[in-house]
Amino acid sequence: MGIRENLKRLKEDLPQQVELIAVSKTKPISDLLEAYDAGQRAFGENKIQEMVTKWEQMPKDIQWHMIGHVQSNKVKYMAPFVHTIHAVDSIKLLKEIQKQAARNERIINCLIQIRIAKEETKFGLDASELDSLLSQGKEMPNIVIKGLMGMATFTEDQSQIRSEFKNLADLYRKYSSFEVLSMGMSGDYDIAIEEGSTSIRVGSKIFGERNY
């Protein structure tokens, strides 16, 4: 099955309010162009250098989403063009995004990553730390904190995935200023949408399995 067909099928089943971010990490430009030609404009990458290289080569009306963990010292490379940074999880990073966005005279959208999974390895902020980050973020003129992002535990247990997404959605709904809830990947986006996701990050279901 080709990329165009995969996209078409995916989109047919998506509720209208749910945005699809095509996660193109590790995939060649030719694959991204195929998705672009099929109408896809939001792409997600998890490595800054790779995203910069692709941004240079791809048409300029694409919205680039940084979905991976970000080191503060690399923000400057994507600040000229990145649309949304999904995995903000510290005040240090938020400050650096503000600084680089200002330097580029841009507004950069940020999502705060909340740790919802049981796994130790997943990045993210504790829900209890959110208020303090938000109040500091309010003072930063070049960033907009649009909402939250989370990744469920990698498990076959659907009820666990659902309860993790439910927790994140409950937190999300407490803040009237939020408009983006980024949750759901190829394996769990249907559950995520049922629980209120507004933005799904789908890679392998569009582009096929990744070879690292």
Ligand X SMILES: *Cc1c(COP(=O)(O)O)cnc(C)c1O
Q: Closer CB to ligand X, residue 39 or residue 154? A: 154
Ramachandran bin of 93, using left for φ above 0, alpha for ψ from -120 to 50, beta for the remaining angles? alpha
| Burial profile 138-163: b = 16 or more Cβ within 10 angstroms, e = fewer | eebebbbbbbbbbbbeeeeeeeebbe
Closest CA to 40 of 10, 15, 68: 10
Report 145-184 residues binding ligand X (CB under 6 A). 151
Site string for ligand X, 57-86 (x = CB under 6 A): ----------xx------------------
If binding is defined by CB under 6 A, does position 26 make contact with ligand X? no
CA–CA gap between residue 74 and residue 66 (Å, rounded): 12
Contact positions with ligand X (CB under 6 A) in 41-60: 46
Classify residue 66 by its DSSP letter. E
Q: Which of 10, 50, 187, 208 binds ligand X (CB under 6 A)?
A: 187
Interacting residue with ligand X among 124, 137, 147, 203 (CB under 6 A): 203
Q: Find the binder of ligand X among 23, 75, 143, 148 (CB under 6 A).
A: 23
Contact positions toward ligand X, by CB under 6 A?
Answer: 23, 25, 46, 67-68, 151, 185-187, 201-205
